[in-house]
Structure formats: structure tokens, C-alpha cells
């Protein structure tokens, strides 16, 4: 009989604790998103480019003038993702030596072909980001 009572009381206490944790997490998220205002704008879309297999990589700090993206309320932006067909290009996000931030996209041609590159940025606040796409043609030397 004692064993059954312990099991009975553990469930309501566990459920109450789980509910409290869930409410705390939800209230934290609400607070976190309250300051999330403004939009991310694509100011200067990336231009299509041609690379050569084994040639110099394409390097671009997307937050230096002319900025590719801008936040309507001047909030800091970060690169969230760099997407493309890795059969033809190698994609990297590298550190800008002067700012120590990962702001530079590096694209290297590895095989003749073409890839649509998508650069996704966010403001580390809201779940929504912005992106721009451009075409990279990789040619043989």
C-alpha cells in the first residue's frame, strides 16, 4: 500500500514541476522576443560570379560597404547559413581579422559546373532571417 501511494504522489509532483519549467521557458522566450523588432533588408544583392577550378576563391565580407544586408533598426547581424551545391564549390564562413567576427563568405571552385549560393543572415533575436541568392559558375582553366 505504501508503495502505491509513493507512485501516486510522484506523478502529480512531477507534472507540477514540468509545468513550472515549461511556464518559465515560455515566459523567458516571450521576454527574449519582446525586443525583436525591425526587419532585415537585402540592400545590395550579391552579383553572379565566375570562378575557376583551382583558382582564387571568392571572398566577401557581407557586412562591409556596400553591405549586402541591413537591419532596419541597426541591430547586429550574423551569418546563419551558407548553402550551395558542394559538388562544384567549397563553402566556408571565415573570420574577418579586423573585427574578429565570422563575416566573410569564402567560395572556392572545385569542379566545373554551377551552383546557386544562398546566404542566410539573422539578428540573433527573432526566428526569422533574410537571405540572398546568386549564381556561381565554376569553369575549367
pLDDT of residue 35: 64
Is the domain of 125 the same as that of 100? yes
Burial 24-59 (b: 16+ CB within 10 A, else e): eeeeeeeeeeeeeeeebebeeebeeeebeeeeeebe
Q: pLDDT > 70: what percent of the chain?
A: 73
32 pLDDT band (50/70/90 cuts)? very low
Note if the bond before 66 is cis, omega within 30 degrees: yes
**CATH number for the domain harbouring residue 86:** 2.60.40.1080
Mean pLDDT of 10-38: 47
Is 25 found in the same domain as 10? Answer: yes
pLDDT of residue 22 exceeding 90, the answer is: no
Range name among 6-10, 14-18, 122-126 with the lowest pLDDT average: 6-10
pLDDT for 72-120, tens place per residue? Answer: 888 889 999 999 999 999 999 999 999 899 999 999 999 999 999 999 9
| Whether residue 127 sits in one domain with residue 83 | yes
A 10 A CB-CB count for 18 gives: 10
130-139: strand order across its sheet: 49-52, 130-139, 113-122, 78-83
Q: Are residues 30 and 15 both part of a single domain?
A: yes
β-strand pairing of 130-139 with 49-52: parallel
21 lies in the same domain as 87: no
Q: What is the pLDDT of residues 33-62, one digit of tens each?
A: 446 677 899 999 999 999 999 999 999 999
The pLDDT, as a whole number, for residue 82 is 95
> How many domains are contained in the chain?
2
Domain that holds residue 14: 1-34
Q: Say what the pLDDT of residue 141 is.
A: 80
Structure-model confidence comparison of residues 5 and 125, the more confident one: 125
Ranking 9-18, 46-55, 104-113, 123-132 by mean pLDDT, the lowest is 9-18
Amino acid at each position: 500500500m505504501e508503495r502505491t501511494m509513493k507512485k501516486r504522489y510522484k506523478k502529480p509532483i512531477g507534472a507540477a514541476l514540468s509545468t513550472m519549467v515549461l511556464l518559465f521557458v515560455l515566459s523567458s522566450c516571450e521576454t527574449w522576443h519582446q525586443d525583436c523588432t525591425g526587419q532585415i533588408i537585402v540592400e545590395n544583392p550579391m552579383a553572379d560570379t565566375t570562378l575557376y577550378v583551382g583558382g582564387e576563391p571568392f571572398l566577401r565580407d557581407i557586412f562591409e560597404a556596400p553591405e549586402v544586408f541591413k537591419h532596419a533598426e541597426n541591430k547586429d547581424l550574423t551569418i546563419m547559413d551558407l548553402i550551395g551545391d558542394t559538388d562544384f564549390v567549397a563553402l566556408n564562413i571565415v573570420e574577418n581579422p579586423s573585427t574578429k567576427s565570422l563575416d566573410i563568405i569564402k567560395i572556392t571552385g572545385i569542379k566545373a559546373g554551377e551552383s546557386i549560393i544562398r546566404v542566410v543572415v539573422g539578428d540573433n533575436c527573432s526566428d526569422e532571417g533574410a537571405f540572398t541568392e546568386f549564381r556561381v559558375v565554376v569553369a575549367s582553366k
